[in-house]
């Protein structure tokens, strides 16, 4: 199993080892608190509490946790916050967090599910956000934006620090493709293209990579050794991955400047105005 170029489709494994597209039968969040309407996967955002989506959720969560350790005591905006889980993680360390999203269902869900004295949610377009903050967090969304340069200029005016992530086109899209099949992505970036996008808008930019660790690193090594041939032949694809995917945690990813950034899953840019 390789997580990659069909990101926007929910996937499940069937008995013969083949992937079955289950996009039309949208996966919906399980076990939500009373009064909180569950959200369904559309491909536009990831969600917690959907076992089949756990890889992507934990990949995002690992970055939120990394950032949370660095924004302690700050006033933070989580723009395009989606379901709200990331803003909630940030609020565990930050002095004040506002989560902003334009989607009415996501906004209502976040407002009802995540309650902290230092956390609030606002419905609105990220392009229109202009509140002064100490830090802006903008994860896995710049690739959705029609005019990313103008938005980055807004970030630089609103906060001295911005954390901006995007998937690495080289590890998300098929080899040689200009972008993945995700219809929500207008453009995807290589490392050099991402640097070129960010540099004109900030005084200093550092870029880190998100990589597999733990179980997922072991899985990578198993794939190189022929695991993708073995599990279908043994008829264990569905039982293996139905256990493996829900067991993935944020500890199975690492955020680092070390290693080959060209091979990172995602890029995390730390941008200073």
Q: What is the CATH number of the domain that holds 57?
A: 3.40.50.150
Q: Is residue 238 part of a domain?
A: yes
Range of the domain at 93: 11-272
Q: Is residue 187 part of a domain?
A: yes
Count of the separate structural domains present in the chain: 1
pTM of this prediction? Answer: 0.91
Q: What is the pLDDT of residues 48-59, one digit of tens each?
A: 999 989 999 999
Q: Is residue 123 part of a domain?
A: yes
| pLDDT higher than threshold 70 for residue 122 | yes
Q: Is residue 202 part of a domain?
A: yes
| pLDDT higher than threshold 70 for residue 154 | yes
| pLDDT higher than threshold 90 for residue 63 | yes
Strand 161-167 to 96-101 pairing: unpaired
Q: What is the pLDDT of residues 194-217, one digit of tens each?
A: 999 999 999 999 999 999 999 999
Q: Is residue 4 part of a domain?
A: no
Q: Is residue 37 part of a domain?
A: yes
| CA angle (102 as vertex; 136, 48 as ends), nearest 5 | 75
The DSSP result for 117-183, as a single string, is TTEEEEES-GGG-----SEEEE-S-GGG-S-HHHHHHHHHHH-SEEEEEEEBHHHHSPTT-SS-S-T
- Check residue 26 and give its pLDDT: 53
**Could you report how far apart the first and last alpha carbons of the chain are, in Å?**
40
DSSP state of 189: B
Q: Is residue 20 part of a domain?
A: yes
CB 140 within 8 A of CB 165: yes
Q: Is residue 125 part of a domain?
A: yes
Q: What is the pLDDT of residues 220-271, one digit of tens each?
A: 999 999 999 999 999 999 999 999 999 999 999 999 999 899 999 999 999 9
């Amino acid at each position: 199993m390789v997580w990659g170029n069909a990101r926007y489709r929910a996937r499940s494994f069937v008995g013969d080892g083949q992937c079955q597209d289950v996009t039309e039968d949208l996966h919906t969040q399980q076990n939500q608190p009373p009064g909180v309407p569950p959200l369904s996967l559309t491909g536009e955002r990831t969600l917690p509490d959907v076992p089949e989506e756990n890889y992507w959720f934990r990949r995002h969560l690992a970055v939120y946790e990394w950032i949370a350790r660095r924004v302690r005591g700050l006033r933070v905006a989580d723009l395009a916050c989606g379901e709200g889980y990331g803003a909630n993680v940030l609020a565990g360390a930050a002095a004040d967090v506002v989560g902003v999203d334009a989607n009415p269902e996501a906004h209502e869900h976040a407002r009802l599910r995540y309650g902290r004295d230092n956390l609030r949610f606002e419905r609105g377009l990220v392009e229109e956000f202009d509140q002064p903050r100490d830090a802006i967090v903008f994860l896995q969304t710049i690739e959705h934006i029609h005019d990313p340069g103008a938005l980055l200029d807004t970030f630089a005016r609103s906060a001295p620090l911005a954390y901006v992530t995007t998937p690495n086109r080289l590890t998300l899209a098929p080899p040689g493709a200009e972008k993945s099949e995700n219809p929500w992505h207008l453009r995807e970036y290589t490392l050099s293209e991402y640097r070129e996008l960010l540099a004109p808008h900030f005084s200093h930019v550092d870029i880190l990579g998100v990589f597999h660790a733990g179980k997922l690193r072991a899985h990578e090594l198993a794939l190189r050794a022929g695991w993708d041939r073995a599990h279908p032949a043994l008829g264990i694809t569905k039982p293996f991955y139905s256990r493996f995917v829900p067991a993935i945690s944020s500890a199975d990813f690492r955020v680092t400047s070390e290693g080959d950034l060209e091979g990172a899953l995602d890029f995390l840019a730390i941008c200073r105005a």
